[in-house]
Amino acid sequence: MMSALEQYDPLIYELIRQEAARQSGCVRLIPSENYVSKAVMLATGSCLTNKYAEGYPGKRYYEGQQVTDLIETTAQNRAKAVFKADHANVQPYSGSVANLAALLSLANPGDTIMGLALPHGGHLTHGWKVSVTGKIFNSVQYSVNPDTGRFDYDQIADLAKKYKPKVIISGATAYPRQIDFKIFGQIAKDIGAFHVSDIAHIAGLVVGGEHMSPVPYADIVSTTTHKTLRGPRGGMLLCKAEHANKMDKSVFPGMQGGPHMHTITGIAVALAEANTPEFVSYARQVVKNAKVMSEKLMELGFNLVSGGTDNHLMLLDLRSKNIPGKKLAKALDRARIVSNYNTIPNDPAPPFNPSGLRIGTPAMTTRGFKEEQAVMVAEFISRVAENIDNETAIEEIGKEVLLLCSQFPVPDHFIIPNNGKKAIV
């Protein structure tokens, strides 16, 4: 397939090759990124991209669905099995679209919704003002306690009682601690609100048993498929049987036209991979690596929001180091360590030049890094911070990072053995 591309479009072929080299020659710490397996990549790059399949299995608007129906049903059944959910919709194009569809299946424009504020670790689509969710709904935002960096559930409950939102959203994009979805469910129940839980970041940890599942406590659970879950880019919704019909209608025809069948095919494969003992070990190692890395970073004088991590990500508060987040992120990138600058709770600096750095372990764990390498990465980060204005030193660190990467080849060869395990469907 690549050689056809090489012949027809040498420019794009070369750019893909360069991106593959970049992904292999650096330590990727952006906590929402990962490497998919070759099997997922193959399924995603398959002929299913050629097929229109508006509707749902058995109820399509175009003919020729003999195979697509089987694929989508397989993906749905696998999703239901790994997340222990009544119902699954695997069509959302992304996490953002999934969230909007979830909200619109439980509330109408103009209703009040409540989610975590973006600068406190929430996602845009949890009602932040520049997002459509902040424009069409009356959005109330909760925060983390600025002293602890953690949720204060009593405060969230008080806010809920005061504003009586129709929907409360739990979940985050930059929150390093466990989230108690049971309490969120209770807070919602107490005021007669619906509970939407967004596990985009931690879905893989939920499947691997490293994080509490919101499925028993939420009306709808939303997720991406490409973060810790390690599938192709996409979104997915899970819900209780009572919400199935309206939730499906909210996705199609409410939000979308034809589903991306090639993505759904890749999601089906990723869900089979997630249902293996290997994936459980992976999730455990992601959390172990984050713990070790956070401890090493604190030992090296970094402040971490909330004082550490329970999951796959860390939020560094760089004020004590006197380095703006963007400056460190860019220096790290030159040293082949890729992260993203991020706000910290109550950040005194502006959002485009915030005081924090967000890093995580999902991708480096996929390429085989364990505790020993996690410590090395923490030391590299510290050395870059110490040499922030010394380009020669940064280049030298970059060479050492490359050497480490070369010992852990990226999963071009990365196929999770299925060990003859029985298929779910």
Ligand X SMILES: *Cc1c(COP(=O)(O)O)cnc(C)c1O
Q: Quick check: is 224 catalytic? A: yes
Query: Hey, what are 274's tokens?
Result: 């997630």
Question: In terms of CB distance, is 55 or 115 closer to ligand X?
Answer: 115
Residue among 80, 227, 296, 321 flagged as catalytic:
227
Give CA–CA dist 267/142, Å, rounded: 32
CB of 214 to ligand X, least distance (A): 12
Instruction: Name the nearest CA neighbour of 69 among 261, 272, 274.
Output: 261
Minimum gap (Å) between residue 22 Cβ and ligand X: 20
Q: Do 232 and 220 meet the contact criterion of CB atoms below 8 Å apart?
A: no
| Catalytic residue selected from 44, 68, 74, 224 | 224
Question: Any catalytic annotation for residue 249?
Answer: no
Task: Supply the minimum distance, in Å, between the C-beta of residue 374 and ligand X.
Answer: 22
Adjacent-strand bridge partners of 332: none
CA 365, 369, 370, 371: dihedral to nearest 10 degrees? -110
User: CB under 8 Å to 202, separation ≥6 — which residues?
Assistant: 179, 211, 228, 311, 312
Q: What is the DSSP secondary structure assignment for residue 219, as one 8-state letter?
A: S
Whose Cβ is closer to ligand X: residue 134's or residue 324's?
134
Residues in the chain: 425
Residue 7 C-beta: closest distance to ligand X, Å:
33
Residue 78 or 201 with smaller CB distance to ligand X: 201
Query: 13, 33, 38, 54: which one is catalytic?
Result: 54
Active-site annotation holds for 233: yes
Residue number, 214 or 398, with CB nearest to ligand X? 214
| Shortest Å, Cβ 99 to ligand X | 6
**Interacting residues of 422 by C-beta distance below 8 A, sequence separation 6+:** none
> Tokens 């890094």 correspond to what residue?
369
Known catalytic membership, residue 282:
no
Query: Which one is catalytic: 233, 319, 326, 370?
Result: 233
Q: Is the CB of 165 or the CB of 234 nearer to ligand X?
A: 234
Nearer to ligand X, 174 or 335 (CB): 174
CB of 32 to ligand X, least distance (A): 5
Are the CB atoms for 387 and 397 separated by under 8 Å? yes
Q: Determine the Cα–Cα distance for residues 288 and 373; give it in Å rounded to an integer.
A: 12
CB-nearer residue toward ligand X: 287 or 394 = 287
Instruction: Give, rounded to a whole angstrom, the gap between the first and last alpha carbons of the chain.
Output: 30
Has 319 been annotated as catalytic? no
Task: Name the minimum Å distance from CB 353 to ligand X.
Answer: 22
Which position's Cβ is nearest ligand X? 95
CB contact set of 355 (below 8 Å; sequence gap of 6+): 317, 318, 319, 324, 325, 343, 344, 347, 348, 349
Residue 299 known to be catalytic: no
- Cis ω before 253 (30° cut-off from 0): yes
Residue 287 is inside which H or E element, if any?
A: helix 277-299
Output the CA–CA distances (angstroms, integers) from residue 294 to 133, 176, 204, in the order listed.
Answer: 34, 11, 20
Given 33, 38, 52, 60, which residue is catalytic? 52
Q: Which is nearer to ligand X, 40 or 384 (CB)?
A: 40
Round to whole Å and give the CA distance between 283 and 275. Answer: 12
Cα–Cα distance for residue pair 184/357, rounded to 1 Å: 27
Q: How far apart are CA 270 and CA 32, in angstroms?
A: 16
DSSP summary character for residue 165? -
Q: How far is the CB of 175 from ligand X (least distance, A)?
A: 9
Catalytic residue among 72, 198, 273, 317: 198
Applying CB under 6 A, the residues found at the interface with ligand X are 32, 94-96, 99, 123, 125, 171-173, 198, 200-201, 224, 235
| Type of residue numbered 38 | K
Q: How many C-beta neighbours within 10 Å does residue 109 have?
A: 11
Catalytic residues: 52, 54, 198, 224, 227, 233
